[in-house]
Each structure stands twice: as structure tokens, then as C-alpha cells.
Structure 1
Amino acid sequence: MEVAKSRSLDVMRQGGVAKCTKLSLGDSRAIEIAGLSDFDCLWVCTEHVPNDWAVVEKQVLAAKAYDKDLLVRVARGSYSDLIKPLELDASGIMVPHVLNTEDARQIVYYTRFHPIGRRPIDGGNADGRFCNIPVADYLRQSNERKMLIVQIEDKEAAPYVEEICALEGIDVVFFGPGDYSHSLGIPGEINHPMVEEMRRNVALACRKHGKFAGTTCSPQEVPRIRDMGYQFISTGGDVLGLHNYFESCRAAFDQ
């Protein structure tokens, strides 16, 4: 038995672009519906969304059934908040609002096993096949196959991007244009020149240090963002899709 591979990491390591979309609804059926489309990764959240661990566990199982990665954006807290999704066998975690190099280094320490970090060991969960993977294999394969994404979404992090990208153990550095614009005092202006400059800087630093650049954008912007060098791109979301669909249904009564 082995630790499950990440479809997204495999795609990016082969030079491709990992296709992701975000789901806010706390329902495994939403994961199944998204799983019918050819995404590599489905992104759920415990930072802004009141999903409990039982919900996340069902979402992981639903994603597995459709051969998709399940990425969990975690809430910032203790090390347990960081590693719990990994133990539920999520494909990876996204850690929000990483502000400096030491912050990123601490995240690596908590979420990677020896020799990279000191993540606490418990192979008796789904990711370790309930103690059916030898410990040495479990640690090595987890370090290689579980995706660690850190988010750059504050102006305070700008001076540290190069150092963060150079840290061992991080797979993806993800630029969040919404909160970054907020930190600059121009909330919502995600195509402002200062936001675009930072978006380019993240892509360049990732390329320089052998990391994958990630971000979110509208479907129309995917080609431009891909050409900028981003290999992990999230677009769309279930709440947007439902709103647009229901609006189109209601508009039918105006005809």
C-alpha cells in the first residue's frame, strides 16, 4: 500500500497546468457534481466556510471517487488545524495569509515529516492506510505526494517572496489578488497595476526557485495567467455558478 498521489502535483511536475475550482457548499454532492468535469483539483475551505471535519471527510471521499484532488484551505491555529485535513487524506492544504519567511518556515516544520520538518506522526488514519504503510514509506511518500500551498495575499509579505519560494517543502506559492488589493487599500481592484506587479513577481520567484505559482482568476483570464507562468489556476466556484443559473431561470419569466 502507498500514500495516494496528487493528480495536481503530477500534472505540474510534467510541465502542465493544474485545473482547479472552488466549492463553498458543505455538501459532498457538490464535490461529485464538480467531479464530473475535468478538473484536477477541487478546493474547499475551513478558513471562511463553517465546514467541520465530518463534512471535510465526506468531501475527501467524494473527490477520491472521481479521481480528483481535494485541497483544503485551513484556518490558522495550532498544528492540528494544519495536519488534520492531511490525516483525512486530503491531497493537500492551502495556508492563508503567510506574512514572512519565518511564518512559512514554521508551516513547513508542522506539516512535513523528517528530514524536512517535524510533523507529528500518526499513520493510523486514512492517509496512512490505517497503519498499513510502513512508517519510513509513509513519511517519505507523504513529503513527496501531499501538496503544501502557502498564500501570499498581504503587502507585508512582499519583501519575503523570494525567501519563501526558496524554502524546501513548499510546492505552490499562491497569490491571492483579492486580499492583496485589500491590503493596499484598493479592495476589489484586482487588476490594479500594483496587484499585477505582485502577481508577476510571484510567478518569477517561483520559476527561479523551482516552485509552482498558483492564483485565482476569472475563466476569461485563464490564458493570460497561464502565459504569465502560473501552473496552478483556480477559476469559478459553486456559489457563483448557482447564482448565475438561478438568475437565468428567473429571467425567463421576463420574456
Structure 2
Amino acid sequence: MFQIGGLIVFCGLLAQTTALLDTLPLPLDQILLLQGTPVQDLSPTDLAGSLTDALSNGLLSEGLLGVLENLPLLNILNTGGGTSGGLLGGLLGKLTSVLPLLNNIIDIKITNPQLLELGLMQSPEGHRLYVTIPLGITLNVNTPLVGRLLKVAVKLNITAEILSVKNEQGKTHLVLGDCTHSPGSLQISLLNGFAPLPVQSLVNSLTSILTEVLPELVQGKVCPLVNDVLSQLDITLVDSIADLLINGLEFVIKV
């Protein structure tokens, strides 16, 4: 009898406790989860970080580093400014003063391609994103003017505009808008330190041509990769970001 009475009392207390809990409000995160609200909506900073991580990983998966390492710089220099040089031949023809010095270059190898940390900004009206893609390479220049390779560091930013649009079925998705090199972001520096005058003249000539041709060359290779990566992003991430952009809601936190 004692055991049965104790069980009855325990069940009564449990029922009272359950009824009391039912009257208490649920935490906000539990309410949203029960309603099926995506977790990304709870943390805008994490949502922006998820996008940059996905873009960075996607570019690497698409072979970005290999694309940078195989830029046809030596072919461009070997055009000598002739019209047979293709897209950039006419441009080199305008730089006739530097071409004799560039004839002293035997070979250029691109090493150490890098994709640095991506940056993300949201437009003032909140309907578009701007992704900064910082890239770096090292040029190993072989020239008979010196008894060693010249190592030249090059850094350049590509800026990609991301828009949210709706298709005919009313489904939102992210698309690439303008994609170009960031003006003034190109940095070229000699890693070997001080160079004698003939070598410095060669470096200056090389810098002049790289400043003219490299941004457009890199842009033409990288922007199609960005477009490919956007088409392969996780659908949940795309929907969350697209909805925010269409409604002009700020989710990129400015630090």
C-alpha cells in the first residue's frame, strides 16, 4: 500500500509540473525552430561568413590556384607588340619603349598562387553584395642580366557584384553582376631587395606592362569561376541570402 500511495503522489506532482511548464513561454530560438525558420536567420554574421567560406572553398575547388599559376604571361611578352599577339598584342605595341629591355627575359614562371581572405560588403540600399577576392602570385623571372632569378610579388583584388533575382517560377537565386579588378589594388614589388640599375630598369619595364595587362587578364580568368561557384551554392544558403537582399535587409555586419 505504501508503494502504491507513493506512486500516486509522484504522478500527481509530475502532472502539476507539466501543466506549469506548459504555461511558461518558450525561448525565441525554440519557437523559431518549431516554426521551421532557418537557423541562418538567427545569426546574420554567421550567414555572411557562410557565404564567404562557400565562395572561397568553391573557387579553390574550381581550380583557381591552377588558373593563376598558368596565366600566359610569357606568351604575352613574346608577342613583341605584334598584331598576332591576340587580345593584348595591340596594347604591347603602344609600349615600344620597354620592349627592348623585355627581350632580356628568358622565362617567367608563376609560383605560390594564393587566395587570401575574402571581403564582403552590402550596398547602402541592401539589395546587392560586393565580394572582394584578393589574389597573390610570385613571378620568377629568368634574365641573363643577373646570375639569379628575379622574384616579383604581385597582388590584385577582383571585385564581384552579387545580385538576387527571381526566375519565371518566382524562385529566388543569386547571380553575378559586374565583375572586375579593383582600381588601384594592383601591387608589384621586387622580393630580391636592391637591384643594380640595368636590372631595376628591367623590373620597371616589366611593372609597366603588368600594370596594363595583368588586371584584365586575371579578371577574364577569375570572373567565370565566380559565376560557376554561385550556381553551385547550397540551396538553403542561397534562399536565406536572396530573401534578405530582395527585402533590402542588412545582414553584413560592418566592423
Which range, TM-score by smaller chain? under 0.3
TM-score by length of 1: 0.26
TM-score by length of 2: 0.26
